[in-house]
Every structure is written in structure tokens, then in C-alpha cells.
């Protein structure tokens, strides 16, 4: 069975994320272990952590993916920000350990172009320290970025440069379809799709690929703009996602949707329905997508 899920809220208690994932029919899910836009250095209250562990055990959902907060910048030339980012990442790891979460996705960070070599060195230093302190529990997964602004990690080559400086297999990788397209990888074309995965396999092998983020892109290939769109309604296109969910090389990976979501989660239900139909070997035509979004959300 395909492991597909969405980013779920922890509002009202972190254990409620499990119920929200179940309600949507997820077989995996992603969450923030704390506020994504604040510096958070504390652990989860043990009572809440135990409720999460119990809820997850009952659910049978596996694996669970956490995403690091957006303020972290382990490539920053600002010493204060770098130190704070390292403390925050250490706290993220400890929360994942408390909760039994397997994967922690994080962005490589950003720095001015002239600071690129030093920025990679700072990132490597931080990741190495976390690995020495905590090992592979959870497994940190660097995410391929869109290259917006001064972000590092918008090419497989640059990710390889980073990983070559780290202990072997100390981190994994996360590929985001929106980011890949925005960075210039033509996942929207059959030949571009194959070319991307051939390069990935050549540089890393398949064992380093741990998480997929399934997001369509509001902007076209090479835009270097990180703006997610609903499945099949952006520039990745529906065929990109059909190829992914029917690709046997990717079949065992957790696939997380980070598409725009409203308060009633209707958008999540529609995007999940589209992915499930593609996974079952069906096509989803443009008029079907239009009917889906205009109607009651069922295919």
C-alpha cells in the first residue's frame, strides 16, 4: 500500500495530529513538533508525548515525518543565528526522540553567494555535531530547495558536495517536486523525469532517498520560486505525479503533500483522492480535476 499523507496540525495537543491524519485516510503524515515560526528549545511535556505515542501505536501509521522550523539557518554567517539554529535543531531532534518520529526534514539554510563555501562548512559542522550527539534517531533529511533567494541545496550537485563532507549515511535526502521543478529539473516532461532520477541515482544511490514531498508548482520550471499548488493544477502537471506514484523505485517511500489547505481540510481530501486514483493506475483528466474542485470533492 502506498504511504501517502499530508502535513497535519498539532493544535490542541500534539497527539491530535494522529487523529487528524486518520480522519483524512493518511498512511503516513508530517507535522511540526512545535511552532514552525518561533525559536523553540524545550521538549514536549511527557504526558503529551505519551498520548502521542499511544495514539500512533493504535493508528498503525508508519513512518511519521517531522519538519524543522523555518527559522533555522545552519549556513548563516551570523554567529548568533547559527548558534540559535543549532540549539533549535538539537531540541527538534530531542522532541522527535520523545515522540518516536523516524525522520526530520530540514532545509540546508541560506547565505550570500560569496559565503557559499563557508556556509556549507557551517552547515556541515552543525549536522556533524548533531550526528555525534544523537546518531540516526531521527534520521535528518536535507531537502532539495527551489533556490529562492540565497538558499543552498537547489541542485543535486550541491547536495552531493554537502554530503561528501559528512559521515557516510549520517543524513538522508528529501525531494520536493515543486522545489525540483522550480530549481530547473523538468519533472513535467518524461525525459526530464528520467534524467532527474538517473542523476540522483548516480550521485547518491537510492538508499539516501528517504522522503518525498508531493507538491505542484505555482510557477514554471526554473523560476526558483517556492510556491506550492494543488496536485495537477500547477506546472508540474498531473503526469508528473502519475509517474511518481507508479514508479516502483519510489513505492516504499513516505509521500507527503504540503499543498495549500483550508480550515475544513477539503483541499487535503481532494489532493489525496487524486494521488490515490493515480496510484491505482487511473488517469485524471483536466475536466475531472475541474469537476472535483467545483463539486463535492469526490472522484
Q: Catalytic residue numbers?
A: 37, 67, 70, 107, 143, 176, 179, 213, 226, 228, 258
Please report, in angstroms and rounded to a whole number, the separation of the first and last CA atoms in the chain: 20
- Helix 79-99 crosses helix 116-134 at what angle (to 10 degrees)? 30
Is the C-alpha dihedral spanning 204, 205, 210, 214 positive or negative?
positive
Please answer whether residues 56 and 38 qualify as being in contact, where contact means their C-beta atoms are separated by less than 8 angstroms. Answer: no
- 171 close to 130: Cβ distance less than 8 angstroms: no
In whole angstroms, give the CA distance from residue 112 to residue 293: 41
Consecutive H or E run containing 173: strand 172-176
Contacts 24+ apart (CB under 8 A), 187-191: 187/236, 187/240, 188/221, 188/235, 188/236, 188/237, 188/239, 188/240, 190/239, 190/243
CA distances from 17 to 5, 38, 65, 106 (A): 12, 19, 12, 20
Q: Please tell me the distance from the alpha carbon of residue 4 to that of residue 27, in angstroms, as a whole number.
A: 5
* DSSP conformational letter for 27: S
Amino acid at each position: 500500500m502506498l504511504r501517502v499523507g499530508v502535513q497535519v496540525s498539532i493544535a490542541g495537543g500534539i497527539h491530535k495530529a494522529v487523529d487528524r491524519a486518520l480522519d483524512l485516510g493518511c498512511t503516513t503524515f508530517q507535522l511540526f513538533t512545535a511552532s514552525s515560526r518561533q525559536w523553540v528549545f524545550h521538549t514536549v511535556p511527557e504526558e503529551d508525548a505519551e498520548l502521542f505515542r499511544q495514539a500512533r501505536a493504535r493508528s498503525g501509521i508508519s513512518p511519521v515525518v517531522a519538519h524543522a522550523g523555518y527559522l533555522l539557518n545552519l549556513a548563516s554567517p551570523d554567529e548568533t543565528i547559527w548558534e540559535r539554529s543549532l540549539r533549535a535543531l538539537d531540541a527538534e531532534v530531542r522532541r522527535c526522540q520523545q515522540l518516536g518520529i523516524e525522520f526530520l526534514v530540514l532545509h540546508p539554510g541560506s547565505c550570500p553567494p560569496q559565503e557559499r563555501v563557508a556556509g556549507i562548512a557551517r552547515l556541515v559542522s552543525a549536522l556533524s555535531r548533531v550526528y555525534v550527539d544523537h546518531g540516526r534517531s531521527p534520521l535528518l533529511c536535507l531537502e532539495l530547495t527551489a533556490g529562492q533567494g540565497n538558499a543552498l541545496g537547489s541542485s543535486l550537485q550541491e547536495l552531493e558536495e554537502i554530503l561528501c563532507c559528512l559521515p557516510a549515511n549520517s543524513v538522508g535526502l528529501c525531494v520536493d517536486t515543486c522545489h525540483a521543478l522550480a530549481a530547473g529539473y523538468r519533472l513535467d516532461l518524461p525525459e526530464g523525469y528520467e534524467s532527474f532520477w538517473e542523476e540522483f541515482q548516480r550521485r547518491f544511490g537510492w538508499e539516501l532517498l528517504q522522503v518525498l514531498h508531493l507538491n505542484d508548482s505555482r510557477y514554471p520550471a526554473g523560476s526558483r520560486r517556492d510556491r506550492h499548488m494543488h496536485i495537477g493544477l500547477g506546472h508540474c502537471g498531473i503526469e508528473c505525479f502519475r509517474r511518481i506514484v507508479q514508479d516502483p523505485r519510489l513505492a516504499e517511500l513516505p509521500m507527503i503533500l504540503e499543498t495549500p489547505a483550508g480550515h475544513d481540510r477539503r483541499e487535503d481530501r481532494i489532493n489525496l483522492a487524486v494521488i490515490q486514483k493515480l496510484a491505482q493506475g487511473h488517469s485524471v483528466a483536466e475536466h475531472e480535476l475541474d469537476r472535483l474542485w467545483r463539486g463535492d470533492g469526490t472522484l
